[in-house]
Amino acid sequence: MTAALRAEICRVGASLYQRGYVHATAGNISVRTETGFLITPTDACLGQLEPARLAEIDANGAQTGGDRASKTLALHQSIYAADPLARCVIHTHSTHLVALTLAGVWSVDDILPPITPYFVMKVGHVPLIPYHRPGDPAVGDAVSRRIAAMRDAGTPNEQIRTSVASLRQRLLDSIPETPLSVLVDHIDHIAKVAGVDHVGIGSDFDGVTALPIGMEDVTMLPRIAQHLIDRGYSDTDIKKILGGNMLRVLETAIDPTERKRR
């Protein structure tokens, strides 16, 4: 397991370097392991990492192997402590982010405005953390507090899901209970407009949250036939509506050679 993680850190580091997202010895990568952490060494070039030289840290923060760990280890540990689900931290010292902070961010809570809905859903809020010298424990505390605050507020996706779920429930609550007779009204209307030869019904009860009263499951389908009888439909027309029309269309759609085979 550790060997695979070491190889993946080196692969990601090389990819970031080759694409120009990191330069010289800037940036570092860490991953959470079963016994602690792996992190890139101090002053290491992410484009030239060697799996065996990655620093290995135990759960207490003591280094147990590899080259001397990056001085940002404390920051990474703070992130892992603040978010138990975090498995990896990639710290790039992004040139564009440095330039943005020097030029002035949109706000301390969102360094960029909500440019597009997709940006809001996929990136979400990106807050500004005040500058501290590398390795300063204070930056870890600041990041931890920000993670906790954003977790309490919920991610944009969680906020959207909550809002949609609430709206959906309000809409469902506003739908009046519908008797089976209204369903048959629809069948009746289609038969009158398009003709009884063009009416078909299905029996898929999956994925619905509301059903007509008296049509809660497939065992109640015969009640449709009774309603049609009560409305004066002939046995022939009822058979068409309950499946005959569907079978006719399917039979027509099947290749003639297939029909011969059957």
For the chain, list the strands marked E by DSSP. 28-32, 36-39, 55-58, 63-65, 88-91
Annotated active-site residue in 17, 21, 80, 118: 118
- Compute the distance between CA of residue 129 and CA of residue 79 in angstroms, rounded to an integer: 13
- Compute the distance between CA of residue 75 and CA of residue 245 in angstroms, rounded to an integer: 68
Question: What residues form DSSP beta bridges with 57?
Answer: 37, 63
Q: By C-alpha distance, which of 210, 220, 213 is closest to 181?
A: 213
- Compute the distance between CA of residue 119 and CA of residue 97 in angstroms, rounded to an integer: 16
Q: By C-alpha distance, which of 257, 63, 131 is closest to 53?
A: 63
Q: What would the two tokens of residue 135 be? A: 């390795």
Q: Is 233 among the residues known to form the active site? A: no
DSSP line for 206-233: TT-S---BT-SSGGGTHHHHHHHHHTT-
CA distances (Å), origin 238, targets 202, 211, 233, 247: 14, 22, 6, 14
**238 phi/psi in degrees, rounded to 5:** -65, -40
Sign of CA dihedral 93, 99, 102, 103: negative
- Compute the distance between CA of residue 176 and CA of residue 252 in angstroms, rounded to an integer: 40
Catalytic residues: 118
